[in-house]
Chain A
Amino acid sequence: MERSIVVVAEHTQGRLTPVTYEAMACALEIQRIQPARIVTVVVGEDAVEVAQEAIDACDQSVLAVKVPGLDSYNGEAYRWTLSHALCGLGASWICVPGTTQGFDFGPGLAVRLGASCLSNIERVFEQDGQPIFVRNLFNGKISAELSAAAPTLLIVQPGSFRWERHDIKGRSYVEVITVEWAPTHTRLLGFKSLYPVDSALRDALVIVSAGRGIERRENLELIHRVASLFPRSAVAGSRPLCDNQWLPYRLQVGQTGATVAPDLYMACGISGAQQHLAGMRGSKFIVAVNTDPEAAIFHEADVGVVEDLEVFLADLLEESARLTP
């Protein structure tokens, strides 16, 4: 059977999500190492319409798995329909976007397909004709190179692969299959929107962001005072601060919070977990304050300050007051 590299598309409201393109970019890198046909698979009630967008973007084949009634993501539906749809494709590598959705159905799908599963893939390179997959461990402090035997399902780290639009040579086509599916074990009851992204975060030119390193709730006061040095600034934080109820969830930056891109992002006592980076990586200038010189946040920062934030932020306020008459 002809081998293939499969990309499972993620889509919402009729559009492919940006991480789908990143998963396609990952597939292209694997294809360069191990030539194979790339097939993008779209699952859902509106699979055919969404598949059109995939076709317009690339010269690959697209499989639209139309599932009547499946109007939003259901893990059981994805595992079931994909394990059937992928059967005939001879998939060596299956690339899944590393979102909460990809992590929900991907690992189970791998087991169903008898494939191994690797997550958080951020780079692929070649060694002796084989793809080697790179991911990070220990909260971004260590990088690991892994080899795996096909078939393997790869959960692709958001923000790691760059999709570049290229000329379409017109070899692409959509194949449509319709799969009847009814829930047996997992029923969706709906969605809850907890916190619309704070407009203060969206509009801020400067964000001063606090992490678990602030240690005490009272230290938020320091963060607020530093923020007030800047015009059009806002205070935000990492997830643990919101879990502690020190900050409302609408001020959480990251994968499951807000995505921000201010002129300046000042990360205070934030370690730089992938899920946090996902929300602030696009900032124009990043300053990180952390006691741990190995913290992953420094890999993403323009300026690094290795200090206890309580001491350093107090000094910053003092020096600023001294310099501004």
Chain B
Amino acid sequence: MKILVCVKQAPPADAPIKIDQSQQWVSVYGHALPQMGKYDEYAVEQAIIIKEQVPGTTVDAITNGPAEWATVLRRALGMGVDHGIQALTLEGGYASALKTVSCIALAVRARSYDLILTGVMSEDLAQGLVGPMLAETLSFSCVTSCVSLRVDESRNCVYAERDIEGGRRQLVELALPALVTMQSSTNRPRYPSLSNIMRANSQELEVITVESSEDAVSCEKLLRLSSPQKTRSAVFLQGSSKDKARELLSILRKRSVLH
């Protein structure tokens, strides 16, 4: 079984960011290190679980981004992925899903994977588009937002549990080749093992350049970034932590939620 996992880099959720001068992207300040997207980690974890269960499975990881994103491939190798592919783009910043999909499709079409896994969405753009659009582009069957997967090689299919609204799950059988996007779950992504980290550091990444076949016209354009509008205007409490505590208690008493 040949598995591919698509991964990307993003700043952590609580990284301090500000809009840069171009108004087209942000800069991350402080010492927050960019890392592999949380959902991508779940996708890698799921791929490794399958590799452990199904003999003869190999797992590749691909990232379509600037050179710095090699770190997420190293992380994936550290978790147990066999081979890393870096489909280089020159610039970072906002990427239209259409463009990313066309680059990844070009890079992987001829490699005949049985199963492709991606995170349900990235943590910076949070589009949730690349996985399902890639599936359609490659004519793979597709299901999104899954919390668990089981491969049945003899029947050439996967069984997936889709996490949906209202605390419910939909159980789906998908014919291979398939693309599944992974949601967070109790399958906590493993930390890279020491032996894998050593292998990851010495292993060559496959670096390729692909030109998106999407013309600029069909992609959306990012016009401007700004601070979001506020729905309610929070009153920020001032003073020391104790001052704030006293003031909050008094506000809550006035609202009669506290007696």
- Residue ranges of A at the interface with B (Cβ–Cβ < 8 Å): 72-73, 75-76, 79, 99-101, 103-108, 110-112, 116-120, 123, 132-133, 136-149, 152, 155, 184-197, 205-206, 212-213, 229-231, 239-240, 243-245, 249-250, 252, 255-258, 263-264, 271, 273-274, 281, 285-288, 291-296, 298-308, 311-312, 315-316, 318-320, 323
Q: A117-B97, A185-B175, A187-B173 are in contact. Are A142 and B19 (CB under 8 A)?
A: yes
Q: Does B192 contact A (CB under 8 A)?
A: no
Residues of A contacting B: mostly:
mixed
Question: Shortest beta-carbon distance, B46 to chain A, in Å?
Answer: 14
Q: A142-B19, A149-B218, A231-B259 are in contact. Are A108 and B167 (CB under 8 A)?
A: no
* Candidates B14, B16, B174, B234; contact of A303 at CB < 8 Å: B234
Within residues 146 to 181 of chain B, which ones have a CB less than 8 A from any CB in chain A? 159, 161-175, 178
Within residues 77 to 102 of chain B, which ones have a CB less than 8 A from any CB in chain A? 94, 96-98, 101
Q: A110-B133, A137-B124, A240-B184 are in contact. Are A315 and B144 (CB under 8 A)?
A: no
Fill in one digit per residue for B179-221: 1 if any A CB lies within 8 Å of its CB, else 0.
Answer: 0000011101000000000000000000000000000011111
Question: Shortest beta-carbon distance, B124 to chain A, in Å?
Answer: 6
Q: How far is A201 from B184 in the complex, measured between Cα atoms in Å?
A: 23
Query: Are B97 and A76 within 8 A (Cβ)?
Result: no
Interface-lining segment among B49-57, B63-71, B108-116, B239-247: B239-247
14 A-B interface contacts by CB (under 8 A): A119-B126, A119-B127, A142-B226, A144-B94, A145-B226, A146-B223, A186-B173, A187-B172, A188-B171, A190-B171, A191-B169, A243-B184, A292-B14, A303-B236
Within residues 117 to 137 of chain B, which ones have a CB less than 8 A from any CB in chain A? 123-129, 131-133, 135-137
- Residue ranges of B at the interface with A (Cβ–Cβ < 8 Å): 11, 13-14, 16-17, 19, 26, 94, 96-98, 101, 123-129, 131-133, 135-137, 141-145, 159, 161-175, 178, 184-186, 188, 217-232, 234-237, 241-242, 244-246, 248-249, 251-252, 255, 257-259
